[in-house]
Structure 1
Amino acid sequence: MKEPWRPRGARQISEVANALIDPVLAKRAGISTLLLGSWDEIAGEDFADCTRPEKITWPRRASEIVDGSGHQPGVLIVACEGARALFLTHAQGELIQRINGFFGFPAVNQLRIVQKPVSQPPKHRGKPRPLTGERARHLEGMVEGIEDDALKQALTRLGTAVMSPHRR
């Protein structure tokens, strides 16, 4: 007899959404939400604002597989805005290396650049309100044992953003 469903603890909404969206993206576009979410880091500051991965096309026939591993790299279709496509064409070798480094295997061997508008990411809403009182003391206690100043500052910024009262 099958046991009834029981909650196993809190899960992030992104985990639930990715579990639902990834199979659809993989079937229709051959990409995952991890690639889409990490695109800004992969593309770098030169191309993050003007490009977006659209689709990965994989070879269909076994005769197109050239190595013995049973895997042939695909072609990544990238949307790029206007004249920046020319610069992306010149930097595509480096971008392909970054994409393959992200996947951990040679997933892509070619880029196909399509010129079209790329929607801008939402604007940053500004700095969070500084913490005061009990919240500030709690955050200080959480990061007090960290010796690395850069890490301590980054965690303090993150904690402030998470623990600050939200504006409506």
Structure 2
Amino acid sequence: MTSKPPRDEDRRIQGMVSVALAADRVTKPIFGRHGFAGGALVVDWPAIVGSAVAAHTLPVRIKFPPKERTGGILEIKVASSAFATELQHLEPLIIERVNGYFGWQAVTRLRLRHGPLPERAKAKAAPRPPPANAALSERLKDVTDPALKEALERLGRHILAKG
């Protein structure tokens, strides 16, 4: 009796590997149901259409004709009716960019769906530096160059915070 070689899904991953490999195994079935081969289109959406368009839109699915992988309809969720009108004018450009991303004529039409978009994570503001220590200020009082004094204060605050 000969044993069959293990399929790719059954093989264990050993050693250090990219998180993308494991994430792809989890997300591929979910995105596949929506016409996305992987989550790459959703993740790369701002790079494909630009940040201004991506801020108001989100790709939902690509619906292909039966047994085809070309000539699909890309369904896009749009935040507002006003932006949907603008998106209709940008349709040829968006189709061109999406097809350029895939490398073949994957999409021929857009279908717009109105609705709220999921909230995006907001960037956190940089923490304010702690105030200068009185002893540190006393030591740096004779430094006349403002740029050097600022750099030394930052260094001093960093050292004081560590220890």
The reply to whether TM is greater than 0.5 is yes
Percent of aligned positions with the same letter in both sequences? 29
Counterpart contact for 1:49–1:120, Cα < 8 Å = no
The residue number in structure 1 matching 2:34 is 29
Deviations 1:4-62 (A, max 9, x none): x7653212323211222112211x2001201111001112122111100001101016x
The answer to whether the aligner puts 1:46 opposite 2:45 as a matched pair is: no
The residue number in structure 2 matching 1:105 is 104
For 1:60, what is the secondary structure of its paired residue? coil
CA distance in 2, matches of 1:52, 1:7: 33
Identify which range, 97-106 or 40-49, moves more after superposition: 40-49
The residue number in structure 2 matching 1:133 is none
The residue number in structure 2 matching 1:76 is 74
CA distance in 2, matches of 1:45, 1:20: 27
What is the letter of the counterpart of residue 81 of structure 1? A
The answer to whether the aligner puts 1:93 opposite 2:99 as a matched pair is: no
Deviations 1:62-82 (A, max 9, x none): xxxxxxxx6531000000011
What is the letter of the counterpart of residue 107 of structure 1? A
Please report the TM-score for the alignment, with normalisation by the length of structure 1.
0.63
Bigger Rg over Cα: 2
The answer to whether the aligner puts 1:16 opposite 2:22 as a matched pair is: yes
Seen in structure 2, the aligned counterparts of structure 1 residues 9 and 80 have a Cα distance that, compared at 3 Å, is same
CA distance in 2, matches of 1:39, 1:7: 29
CA distance in 2, matches of 1:55, 1:35: 10
**RMSD between superposed Cα atoms in Å:** 2.6
The residue number in structure 1 matching 2:119 is 120
Q: How many residues align?
A: 120
CA distance in 1, matches of 2:55, 2:85: 15
Counterpart contact for 1:76–1:108, Cα < 8 Å = yes
What is the letter of the counterpart of residue 76 of structure 1? L
Gaps of 5+ in 1: 62-69, 130-168
